[in-house]
Amino acid sequence: MQFSLELISKIEKAIQNHQFELIEQYFDQINDADIAKLLGDLSLSEQVTLVEHLPNAAYILEFLSLDQQLKIAEHLPKQNLIQVLSQMHSDDQTDLFKYLPYSLQQSIYTELSPEIQQQIQHLAKYPEESAGAIMSSDYVAVPPDLNISQAIEHIRKSAKNRETVYLIYVVDPHNRLLGVASLREMILADPHQNMTEVMRTDLIVGDVNEDQESIVEKLHYYDFIALPIVDQQQRLVGIVTYDDAMDIATEEATEDFLKSSAVTSSPKMSIKTAPIHYLYKKRVFWLVILVFGSLLSGFGIAHFEDIIAKNIVLVFFLPLLVGSGGNAGSQSATLMVRALATGDVHLKDWLYLIGRESLVGLCLGGTMAIAVSILGYFRGDAMVALVLALSMMGIVLMGCLIGMSLPFILNRLRLDPASASAPLVTSICDATGVIVYLCIASIIL
């Protein structure tokens, strides 16, 4: 949603004049997510002032990135920060608290309610990128001995601040998960039926230590609104909701995209506001590694100095050929990384895909060979054209196979296939392309 400059100007003026009731009137017809977006058009001091005075500030903050939340939180008065944290949903609350400066954490922790302290301790103990780290404790649970009428009354009393009430979990006195029922099923059921008669026991759950990507895949595959998370004793410890899964999917896609460009990933940091030294640190490692990788091409050229000296025309086509191999390899790597990430292909499919990629590589190389051989004939002679045609086919084929195989190899080594970045594939293809080209040239010429 785009906001007019007139509205933004009115809000800025109202903030300056402390007319917060007027601002609430402006916001009455605007969704919380859109209000969060509007905050981005205001200065940091204006954002902080609004958060101090808006009654639903906690819910608006949840629509902001963690980076933006932190900036506002660090400038809020202590009591306002405590109030905002107390009103946030448990997962967002814990995420924000974990990333606050340590001194600020110590300052506010003892003033939070015992219930919130317990929530933060419970959720903060799980490893990053696990189900436990992204789950929420704002679920609704009922005991199995209630009938539908009693269960709905129980929900009415206990579910006021819960994140979702669409799914109701049935747990025993030890909080072990017995079943789940949708609110729709409960409303349509006979009020005198017992919860055990309505609940479903064919449960799909996530383990608290399970990787967050696996949790997202389950939610997507089963098309659930929320997924219950259990520990080793099958006790219900939290839920992961569909909106949180969408956020995780976005983060994972961003992370894979950064890795594919050989950038150390950190999706929580905004490129717009990240410090220069941070951006430098995230990019310098792979660039330095790839510099030394590119030396392999230089060694290949040095080894064939004599053939190059006798046929100087070969130099003219060198960037064209090795570049084509790198491009083909990058395409194949991108396709395979995405296919592995979505589960479209698996490690057992490698040999089958090798055959298919070989045919694709030969077709691509053959088409490009025709084009480059024509250039080679006019620039040199028929023999140069033959060298270029054979080299192009060999280099593109090699590039396709390298690009396709590298993600599988990394996956086999239990490394992230997304680390098969375009620059890495290009560097390998460049080195092999130089050797293939000059070997063929030395044999024919």
Q: Beta strands 140-142 and 177-182: pairing type?
A: unpaired
Same domain, 119 and 145: no
DSSP 56-94: THHHHHTTS-HHHHHHHHHHS-HHHHHHHHHHS-HHHHH
Same domain, 69 and 198: no
Same domain, 283 and 315: yes
Same domain, 286 and 373: yes
Token readout for 290 is 């790839």
Same domain, 300 and 415: yes
What CA–CA distance (Å, rounded) separates 167 from 228?
A: 10
Q: Which amino acid is at 158?
A: S
Q: For position 267, what pLDDT does the model report? A: 46
Q: Which residue range forms the structural domain that includes residue 162?
A: 140-250
Handedness of CA 288, 289, 291, 292 (dihedral sign): positive
Same domain, 117 and 151: no
**Digits of tens for pLDDT over the chain (445 positions)?**
667 778 888 888 988 988 888 888 888 888 888 888 888 888 999 999 999 988 888 889 988 888 889 999 999 999 999 999 999 988 889 989 998 999 999 999 999 999 899 989 888 888 888 999 889 888 999 999 999 999 999 998 887 667 678 899 999 999 999 999 999 999 999 999 999 999 999 999 999 999 998 998 899 889 888 999 999 999 999 999 888 888 887 777 776 666 655 555 554 556 666 678 776 777 777 777 777 767 777 787 888 888 888 888 888 888 888 889 888 988 888 888 888 877 788 888 888 999 999 999 999 999 999 999 998 888 888 998 999 999 999 999 999 999 899 888 888 887 777 665 677 788 888 888 888 988 998 888 7
**Cβ(52)–Cβ(44) below 8 Å:** no
Same domain, 306 and 394: yes
Same domain, 312 and 409: yes
Question: Which helix (H) or strand (E) covers residue 298, if one does?
Answer: helix 276-303
Q: Beta strands 167-171 and 140-142: pairing type?
A: parallel
Token readout for 199 is 């609940």
CATH number of residue 319's parent domain: 1.10.357.20
Q: Say if pTM beats, i.e. exceeds, 0.75.
A: no
Domain membership flag for residue 233 = yes
Burial class (CB in 10 A: 0-12, 13-18, 19+), 188: exposed
Q: Which of 88, 95, 102 is nearest to 212 (CA)?
A: 95
Domain membership flag for residue 130 = no
- List the 236-241 sheet strands across, edge first: 206-207, 226-230, 236-241
Same domain, 109 and 220: no
Same domain, 406 and 337: yes
Same domain, 146 and 108: no
Q: For position 389, what pLDDT does the model report? A: 93
Burial class (CB in 10 A: 0-12, 13-18, 19+), 238: buried
CATH number of residue 238's parent domain: 3.10.580.10
Question: In the chain, how many domains are there?
Answer: 3
